[in-house]
């Protein structure tokens, strides 16, 4: 399988308000030490007046500028998100409106794995000649989805958007999507409500994000190991030949434990969870953006992106950076 794709520009949109662990300890029975030792998180950014569209448009404009493209150059917008500012229109349509693009748009919801799903979709459009330049934006407002009276979940997440433009090229070597790698809707979910239909027999209101952390931890470690075996079978690349592992930023402890299981040194696992918390689908593109811009990723480096999330879904991508 040839993916014929490369990333040519990045952008990000982060809320202005930075919330520290101490800020949260003002209204919850928790502490900086408790949160940091269990998650590796020190701060996260949370929307106050910004909408998710605001963050997404900022990320999209940044990616266009970085790629030296105009909105007219974009043939498709794919947005990875758990949900935008509206049930409909999609967040991708709001982005198109915000940047002044007139192209097909759609959202994809694969939870924290969304960015890898979006890459796979973009490669299909590019390979088939249906699109030349695809704008991908991953954007999440997790602060609206977590229960701020539950210290086990609300401390983990943050808000933010990260985007990139992809076009024809040879950098992307491999993508694998493990849709419902372990079908299980109970360990990680966020229930929708039933509305006010007079016909429903069981009225349900929408609920907050719910997670069985220990089960998710096990799933992640196992799925990363099995995804890496697949990479080795299909591309011949062993973990030792991968220069950097960009894992979904769910929890620093999970990343550390996974690295140890893979017998790879910690410096091969760049992290930004300390500053941003878990940004769901936006974690990996933001980490890739920052790692490229900081110079930590150099041309010729072999990168492994691996995301995992509710579903449970997982996705892996190998890129040789150009």
Supply the residues annotated as catalytic: 112, 248, 278
φ, ψ for residue 129, nearest 5 deg: 80, 5
Q: What is the DSSP letter of 102?
A: -
| Single residue of 42, 210, 253, 275 touching other proteins by CB under 8 A | 253
What is the nearest approach in angstroms of other proteins to the Cβ of residue 306? 17
**Whole-angstrom Cα distance, residue 260 to residue 266?**
8
Q: Establish if 42 lies at the interface with other proteins (CB under 8 A).
A: no
φ, ψ for residue 38, nearest 5 deg: -90, -15
Q: Establish if 269 lies at the interface with other proteins (CB under 8 A).
A: no
Binding mask 233-252 for other proteins (x = CB under 8 A): ------------------x-
| Single residue of 36, 148, 257, 269 touching other proteins by CB under 8 A | 257
| Contact indicator for 22, 34 with CB cutoff of 8 Å | no
Q: Which CB atom, from 152 or from 241, has the smaller least distance to other proteins?
A: 152
Q: Establish if 97 lies at the interface with other proteins (CB under 8 A).
A: no
Q: Establish if 38 lies at the interface with other proteins (CB under 8 A).
A: yes
**Which of 24, 93, 14 lies closest to 48 in space, CA to CA?**
14
**Whole-angstrom Cα distance, residue 307 to residue 254?**
12
Q: Which region among 4-12, 156-164, 216-224, 293-301 touches other proteins (by CB under 8 A)?
A: 216-224
Binding mask 196-215 for other proteins (x = CB under 8 A): ----------------xxxx
Q: For the chain, what's the residue count?
A: 322
| Contact indicator for 16, 48 with CB cutoff of 8 Å | yes
What is the nearest approach in angstroms of other proteins to the Cβ of residue 275? 21
* Tokens 């909105």 sit on residue: 71
Question: What sections of the chain are H helices per DSSP?
Answer: 21-25, 32-39, 52-67, 91-99, 114-127, 213-235, 252-261, 273-276, 283-293
What is the nearest approach in angstroms of other proteins to the Cβ of residue 218? 6
State the residues that interact with other proteins by CB under 8 A: 37-38, 212-215, 217-218, 221, 251, 253-254, 257, 261
């Amino acid at each position: 399988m040839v993916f014929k794709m490369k990333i040519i520009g990045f952008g990000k949109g982060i809320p202005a308000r930075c919330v520290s662990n101490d800020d949260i300890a003002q209204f919850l029975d928790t502490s900086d030490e408790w949160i940091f030792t269990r998650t590796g998180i020190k701060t996260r950014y949370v929307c106050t007046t910004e909408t998710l569209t605001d963050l997404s448009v900022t990320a999209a404009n940044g990616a266009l500028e970085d790629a030296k493209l105009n909105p007219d150059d974009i043939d498709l917008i794919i947005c990875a998100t758990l949900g935008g500012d509206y049930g409909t229109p999609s967040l991708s349509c709001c982005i198109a409106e915000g940047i002044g693009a007139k192209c097909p748009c759609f959202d994809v919801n694969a939870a924290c794995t969304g960015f890898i799903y979006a890459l796979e979709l973009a490669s299909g459009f590019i390979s088939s000649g249906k699109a030349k330049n695809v704008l991908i934006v991953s954007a999440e407002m997790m602060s609206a989805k977590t229960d701020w009276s539950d210290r086990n979940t609300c401390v983990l997440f943050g808000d933010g958007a990260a985007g990139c433009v992809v076009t024809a090229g040879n950098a992307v070597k491999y993508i694998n999507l493990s849709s419902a790698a372990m079908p299980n809707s109970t360990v990680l979910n966020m229930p929708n409500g039933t509305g006010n239909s007079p016909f429903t027999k069981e009225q349900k209101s929408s609920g907050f994000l719910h997670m069985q952390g220990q089960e998710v931890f096990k799933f992640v470690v196992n799925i990363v190991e099995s995804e890496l075996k697949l990479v080795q079978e299909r591309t011949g690349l062993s973990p030792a030949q991968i220069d950097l592992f960009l894992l979904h930023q769910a929890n620093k402890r999970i990343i550390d434990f996974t690295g140890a299981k893979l017998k790879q040194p910690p410096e091969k696992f760049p992290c930004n969870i300390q500053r941003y918390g878990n940004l769901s689908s936006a974690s990996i593109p933001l980490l890739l953006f920052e790692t490229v811009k900081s110079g930590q990723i150099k041309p010729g480096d072999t990168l492994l992106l691996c995301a995992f999330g509710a579903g449970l879904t997982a996705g892996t991508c190998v890129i040789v950076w150009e």
